[in-house]
Structure 1
Amino acid sequence: MRGVHRVVVSSKRLRYDFQIRRNITIVRGDSATGKTTLVDMIWEYTNNPSGSPVELVCDKTCSVLTGTLWKEQLSGIRDSIVFIDEGNEFVRSADFAKEIQGTDNYYVIVSREALPALPYSVEEIYGIRTSGKYGTLKQSYHEFYRIYGTDAVKTEVKPETVITEDRNSGYQFFQSICSEHDLECCSADGKSNIFRLLKERKEERVLVIADGAAFGPEMDRVLQLLTERENSALYLPESFEWLILSSDIWTDNEIREILSTPYDYIESKDFFSWERYFTALLIEKTKGSYLAYSKKKLNTRYLNDKIKAAVLLKMEKIVLS
């Protein structure tokens, strides 16, 4: 599945109207905010569409996955938007992540807890905003997408230390820049270690650079830690590859079109997270050229002054000098 899909669920008392655009969407919030009611209404409609007081309008089939027989249910679901209510323990398992990878469905998961086995985006974590009888999904972390505080922070970010998610090409790129300006650059060796490194470096001005496309499970605890200090910041592009592609290093209208509406191009069956898609796209676009890209080892051509300047220009309000 690809694209943006609108879901309208309504009864005489309630109406939910929202859009889904990635393979994994997280709905969160406290009790009595309407999360379970939403899933219950969808379940009621799907089990008795002709006799239910609930109406459901969507261009895709909507299903509810629940209980101990979830694998059997999932095996019969294709090209659908699958809703899962909180309380279903299987969503936290590596087994669930393995089963849904490679399926052509979108998944909407109600959960107040982080789900570390799933690579979901910081952009696709929502609460439910209600106005009387009307409900829609409210994005929780929009202001943290691409640069921490784009909408809120008015001053520049000048870190002493840069922490990257892993030791791949992104780390090698920023390590080169940091070494030129006597800044430290270190790898967390996995996004789950970023929280620990931040705690260890609480006296430093730290900039964390991670893949926003899969950082959702870590967002709560990292954000909670950052709200207690004013000397650190998050920069969450979709991925390092997205950052390269969006830096206008070369003129390619197809790349620009893809970046403007990536959900129209990214097939959920083929790419478990958008980060993987942008990696594949950059590799394909540069294959056979002097900028041929490798995720594990950075092509040194990406370290020339023109390319570094283009990437840093894209990173608004961040000063690595």
Structure 2
Amino acid sequence: MKGAYRVIVETRKVKYDFRIKRNITIFTGDSGSGKTVLIDLIREYRRFGSDSGVSVSCSCPCRTLDNEDWEHQLGEITKSIIFIDEGNRFLISKKFAELVIKSDNYFVFATREKLPMLPYSIHEIYGFRKSGKFHEAKQKYNEIYHLYGEISEKEGIDPKFVITEDSNSGFEFFAELSKQKNIECVSLKGKSNIVKKLEDNQGVEGKKLVIVDGAAFGSEMKDVSEYVSVENNMILYAPESFEWMLLSINVIPDSNSTSILQQPEEYIDSREYASWEQYFTRLLTDKTKENPVWCYSKKKLSKVYLSAKVINAAKRFMKFIIWD
């Protein structure tokens, strides 16, 4: 399943209006914020149609999934947006995660819990607010995005220590940037126990820059955002992925991907790719596989990616960070 879909769910009293564009979207918020109401309305509309008093408008079928016989139900649903409330026990099961990753449906989970078995984006986590007499979705983690987006070019961020989630090619690249700046770069070697690993480097003086792949970091975002909000000397940088960044700087021969980068949702099939991170890795690998100099590997970075041409282009792309 590909594409972006606008969903409008409304009754005489409430209205929800939002867009879904990835295979996994998270709706979160305190009890009573409106998450369950939304799913109940979709369920009522599926059962009783217009007689329910609910209107659902979307170019893609909107479905719900419940505890009873969920696996059989899921097996019969295709090319739909499936809404699931946190009260369903199967939501945190390994079996469910495996089926979601292989599915050609989009999923919306209304939950306050993190789902570590699923690779979802930090950009697709939403909360709820009241606007006039209607509910509408808004991004839950704006405080993190604002922290990143409000950094002006004049002010800049001058890191004294760099921490990467990646331990392979991405780490090699940012280690080289750090080396040129004469600062240390360490790898977290994955997302597991990330806050504990950040605490282990707490004693380092100066501004710390934490670099993660935003496309699959959603399950850790709550813990990390809370930690970063207390640690004033820590900045989170979360591009879609390292491969996305390399494609975005547009210096690799015959790898122009402008149209894809502008609207990835129109190209990325949810059944084929569990996350956009996987897609951009495949895209970069395919675009460079015939070029022995630029051939990209996630495990080991070719020397050309550490050349002045690529390094300088990346520095310009990350213009809010002072690398020199």
Q: Fold match, TM over 0.5? A: yes
Contact in 2 for aligned 1:198/1:206 (Cα 8 Å): no
Say yes or no: does 1:313 pair with 2:316.
yes
Say yes or no: does 1:291 pair with 2:290.
no
| Corresponding residue for residue 63 of structure 1 | 63
| Corresponding residue for residue 120 of structure 1 | 120
Deviation for aligned residue 1:148:
4.5
**Gaps (5+ residues) in structure 1?**
none
In structure 2, how many angstroms separate the alpha carbons of the residues matched to 1:292 and 1:142?
Answer: 37
Contact in 2 for aligned 1:144/1:235 (Cα 8 Å): no
TM-score by length of 2: 0.94
Kindly provide the amino acid, as one letter, of the partner of residue 208 in structure 1. V
**Gaps (5+ residues) in structure 2?**
none
In structure 1, how many angstroms separate the alpha carbons of the residues matched to 2:273 and 2:91?
Answer: 19
Kindly provide the amino acid, as one letter, of the partner of residue 38 in structure 1. L
Residues 9-42 of structure 1: CA distance to partner in whole angstroms, max 9, x if unpaired?
1112111111101110000111221111000000
In structure 1, how many angstroms separate the alpha carbons of the residues matched to 2:13 and 2:222?
Answer: 33
TM-score by length of 1: 0.94
Question: What aligned pairs does 1:178-197 form with structure 2 within 5 A after superposition?
Answer: 178-197=178-197
Select the residue among 266, 269, 280 that pairs with 2:282.
280
In structure 2, how many angstroms separate the alpha carbons of the residues matched to 1:119 and 1:302?
Answer: 27
Say yes or no: does 1:239 pair with 2:238.
no
Question: What aligned pairs does 1:152-171 form with structure 2 within 5 A after superposition?
Answer: 155-171=155-171
| Higher share in helix | 2
4+ runs of 1 displaced by more than 3 Å? 142-145, 250-254
Contact in 1 for aligned 2:210/2:237 (Cα 8 Å): yes
SS at match of 1:8: strand
The more displaced of 11-20 and 77-86 is: 11-20
Say yes or no: does 1:102 pair with 2:105.
no
Kindly provide the amino acid, as one letter, of the partner of residue 217 in structure 2. F
Contact in 1 for aligned 2:250/2:256 (Cα 8 Å): no
In structure 1, how many angstroms separate the alpha carbons of the residues matched to 2:128 and 2:306?
Answer: 44
RMSD: 1.8
| Corresponding residue for residue 149 of structure 1 | 148
In structure 1, how many angstroms separate the alpha carbons of the residues matched to 2:18 and 2:242?
Answer: 29
In structure 2, how many angstroms separate the alpha carbons of the residues matched to 1:162 and 1:181?
Answer: 11
Deviation for aligned residue 1:180:
2.8
Kindly provide the amino acid, as one letter, of the partner of residue 148 in structure 2. G
In structure 1, how many angstroms separate the alpha carbons of the residues matched to 2:239 and 2:144?
Answer: 10
Say yes or no: does 1:12 pair with 2:12.
yes
> How many matched pairs?
320
| Corresponding residue for residue 212 of structure 2 | 210
SS at match of 1:149: helix
In structure 1, how many angstroms separate the alpha carbons of the residues matched to 2:69 and 2:125?
Answer: 27
Contact in 1 for aligned 2:144/2:225 (Cα 8 Å): no
Deviation for aligned residue 1:189:
1.2
| Corresponding residue for residue 226 of structure 1 | 228
In structure 2, how many angstroms separate the alpha carbons of the residues matched to 1:182 and 1:89?
Answer: 50
Residues 271-321 of structure 1: CA distance to partner in whole angstroms, max 9, x if unpaired?
100000000110111121121111111111101011011012111211234
Deviation for aligned residue 1:68:
4.3
In structure 2, how many angstroms separate the alpha carbons of the residues matched to 1:296 and 1:253?
Answer: 20
In structure 1, how many angstroms separate the alpha carbons of the residues matched to 2:181 and 2:26?
Answer: 39
Kindly provide the amino acid, as one letter, of the partner of residue 150 in structure 2. D
Contact in 2 for aligned 1:7/1:17 (Cα 8 Å): yes
- TM-aligned CA distance change 1:254 to 1:183, over 3 Å: closer
